[in-house]
Copies of this chain bind each other. A is one copy, B any other.
Amino acid sequence: MIKIVFFDLDDTLIDTTELAERARRQAINNMIREGLPVSFEEAYQELLELINEYGSNFPHHFDYLLRRLDLQYNPKWIAAGVIGYHNTKFTYLNTVRGVRRTLLKLKEMRIKLGIITDGNPIKQWEKILRTEIDDYFDDVIISDFLGVKKPHSKIFEKALSTCGVKAEESLMVGDRLYTDIYGAKQVGMTTVWFRYGKHAKDDLDYLSYADFTIEEITKIPEIVRGLNSEEQLE
C-alpha cells in the first residue's frame, strides 16, 4: 500500500535546467549589450566551463568570467550579467508541465507528499515558495541538513522517519537514475524514473533499479492506483 510519494525537486517538480540555461544566455546577452567585447559563443562557452569547474552555486561566476576572458574587472558588465540572470530566473521559474495537476490528483487520493532534495536549503525553498507548491507537501527533506547527498541512504531513511512511513509504503520519483532511483531502491522504496530534461539520455547503468519509467509526470497517480489495487487483489 503506497501511502506517500516523494519527489525530487530540480527537473522533476521544477524546470531548473532549462531555466538556468535561459538565464545564463540572457546574462551574456546583457553583458554584451553593455559593451563586453567578446562574441556570444565565446563568452557562453567560457561561462559553461567555469560553472562546470566551480559549480553552479559559486558566487562569482561573472567576475571569474572576465578573468578567464583576459578582461579587466568591470562592475558594470558584472552587474549587467547579474541583472540578466536574475530577471530571467524570476520571470520564468516554473513547475514542470503537469505537476500541479498531478499533485492535486494525489491529494484527492489521500496520498501524502514529500520532497527529497540536495542543494542549498535557502535556494531550494526559494524555488518551492516562488512556484507556490509548498502547500501540497507534508514534508521537505533537504540532504544538506544531514551533511550528505543523494544517493546516501541517510537522506532517504530520514525522509521515512520524518513522515512516519515504511519504505514499502513509499514511492520515489526523480530524474536521476543514480542519485534518486538507485538511492531510494537501496532503502527499499518503489522507484519511478522520470525520464526528463538533461538526464533523459543518461547512461543506463542504473536502469535496473527503476520499477517504472515515465516521460510524463502525470502518470504517477495511475502508477499509485495500480500498485494499491494490485495489493487489494492479493
| Residues of A near any B CB (own CB < 8 A) | 34, 75-76, 78-80, 82-83, 86-87, 90, 121-126, 128-130, 134, 140, 142
Contact = CB atoms under 8 A, between A and B. Distances in A.
Given A75-B121, A75-B142, A90-B90, A83 B34 contact: no
B122 A75 contact: yes
Give the number of copies in the complex.
2
Contact of A76 (B78, B79, B82, B125): B125
A75 B129 contact: no
Given A76-B125, A76-B140, 10 more contacts: A75-B121, A75-B122, A75-B125, A76-B128, A76-B129, A79-B123, A79-B126, A79-B129, A83-B126, A83-B129
4 smallest CB-CB distances across A and B, nearest first, come from A75-B121, A79-B125, A79-B126, A76-B125
> Looking at chain A's contact residues, is the secondary structure mostly helix, strand, loop, or mixed?
helix
Contacts of A87: 90
A217 B105 CA distance: 58
A96 B78 CA distance: 25
Contacts of A34: 129
Nearest to A34: B129
Contacts of A130: 83
Contacts of A80: 125, 129
A124 B79 CA distance: 8
Nearest to A121: B75
- Of listed A82, A83, A126, residue having the most chain B CB within 10 A: A126
A186 B74 CA distance: 29
14 contacts: A75-B122, A75-B142, A76-B125, A76-B128, A76-B140, A79-B122, A79-B128, A80-B125, A80-B129, A82-B126, A83-B129, A83-B130, A86-B86, A90-B90
